[in-house]
């Protein structure tokens, strides 16, 4: 969205209002000029919040992620143009431009749906999935600690496995990641495991991955900015529908996602978009796991098939 706006209005100043943890992602964007920390702003008094938003001098706010508190604040701050999707009732009271948009039953990808919010602002807001990677303007901005950088081997395919998702997505299962690690040829692949420290304890539990010399445990050792840079220096990443998967796709790395065939979390809506991005999903549709924490269809995806794809890409 930022890239499209910059192209249409070369002199515009783009601010991104987001939670603290997203700041490292936004710093990687060539098209965002300033980050506004919502976690800090929401701690202020109502009057201070209004003053903070007014001080930005913003002329337009686009509610890509609907939030009632932000929508009400933008109206109180008298931002001239306030754009929101029709599916949120509070937008009808707080926004003065409503974009007719239904995400729940849409056939479009999330990125395409967000771009539709630019209708009326730019001359072109519809893009194919193949065109969207050209709009990222995304690159890593930090350097890696020397002890981490030296773990990467130029004579091998440096592959990151990111098994957990902090509850943000259905997962493929530790047993599948363990099998995948066992199948991949040791002479061709250097395997890294990433995630938080808590995730690391789960990943390497009795039911999880088996520790070995060929698997390098980086769980809990990288801050988000460092993880982004590590993904940039690595060759590929395999994960469920998590943030690191989309970061790898945006950085032009091999990014393979494992997805459930369940709306609205299916790949048609959330697949990684990148020049080297792809995904696995069981054919057909399934909803019997909707109220469970795991998905039988997703767990049944064969690690051998995933291994074959990544081996083919390396060959």
Segment 152-206, tens digit of pLDDT: 999 999 999 999 988 778 899 999 999 999 999 999 999 999 999 999 998 998 7
Do 158 and 297 fall within a single domain? Answer: yes
With b meaning 16 or more CB within 10 Å and e meaning fewer, what string describes 160-192? bbbbbbeeebbbbbbebbbbbbeebeeeebbbb
For the segment 296-309, the average pLDDT, to the nearest whole number, is 94
Domains held by the chain: number: 2
Please report which helix (H) or strand (E) contains residue 174, including its range: helix 174-183
User: Which range among 10-14, 52-56, 100-104, 271-275 shows the weakest confidence by mean pLDDT?
Assistant: 100-104
Structural domain boundaries, residue 266: 151-314
* pLDDT value of residue 312: 92
In this prediction, residue 191 carries a pLDDT of: 97
Q: pLDDT category, 121, cuts 50, 70, 90?
A: very high
Indicate whether 93 and 227 sit together in one domain: no
Q: For 53-110, write each residue's pLDDT tens digit.
A: 999 999 999 999 999 999 999 999 999 999 999 999 999 999 999 999 988 778 899 9
- How many residues comprise the chain? 315
* Residue 160, token pair as written in the block: 């990151």
Domain end position, chosen among 103, 135, 167? 135
165 with 270, same domain: the answer is yes
Which of 135, 163, 181 marks a domain boundary? 135
Contacts 24+ apart (CB under 8 A), 235-238: 235/157, 235/158, 235/159, 236/157, 236/158, 236/159, 236/160, 236/276, 236/310, 236/313, 237/159, 237/160, 237/161, 237/162, 238/159, 238/160, 238/161, 238/162, 238/177, 238/180, 238/306, 238/310
- Express each pLDDT in 230-239 by its tens digit: 999 999 999 9
If asked whether residues 69 and 202 sit together in one domain, one would say: no
> Do 161 and 122 reside in the same domain of the chain?
no
Q: Is the pTM of this model over 0.85?
A: yes
């Amino acid at each position: 969205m930022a890239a499209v706006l910059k192209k249409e209005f070369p002199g515009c100043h783009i601010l991104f209002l987001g939670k603290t943890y997203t700041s490292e992602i936004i710093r990687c964007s060539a098209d965002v000029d300033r980050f506004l920390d919502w976690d800090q702003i929401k701690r202020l008094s109502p009057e201070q919040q209004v003053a903070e938003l007014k001080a930005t001098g913003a002329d337009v706010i686009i509610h890509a992620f609907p939030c009632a508190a932000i929508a009400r604040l933008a109206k109180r701050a008298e931002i001239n143009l306030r754009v929101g999707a029709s599916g949120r009732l509070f937008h009808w009271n707080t926004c003065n431009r409503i974009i007719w948009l239904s995400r729940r039953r849409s056939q479009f990808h999330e990125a395409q749906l967000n771009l539709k919010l630019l209708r009326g602002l730019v001359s072109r807001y519809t893009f194919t999935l193949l065109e969207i990677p050209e709009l990222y303007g995304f690159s890593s901005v930090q350097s890696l600690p020397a002890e981490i950088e030296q773990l990467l081997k130029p004579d091998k395919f440096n592959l990151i496995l990111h098994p957990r998702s902090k509850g943000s997505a259905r997962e493929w299962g530790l047993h599948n990641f363990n099998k995948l690690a066992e199948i991949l040829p040791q002479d061709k692949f250097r395997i890294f495991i990433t995630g938080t420290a808590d995730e690391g304890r789960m990943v390497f539990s009795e039911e999880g991955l088996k520790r070995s010399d060929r698997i390098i445990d980086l769980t809990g050792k990288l801050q988000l900015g460092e993880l982004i840079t590590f993904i940039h220096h690595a060759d590929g990443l395999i994960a469920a529908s998590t943030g690191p998967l989309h970061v790898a796709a945006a950085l032009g790395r091999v990014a393979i996602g494992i997805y459930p065939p369940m709306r609205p979390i299916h790949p048609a809506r959330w697949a990684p978009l990148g020049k080297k991005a792809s995904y696995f999903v069981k054919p057909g549709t399934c909803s019997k796991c909707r109220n469970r924490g795991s998905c039988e269809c997703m767990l049944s995806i064969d690690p051998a098939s995933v291994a074959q794809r990544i081996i083919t890409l390396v060959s």
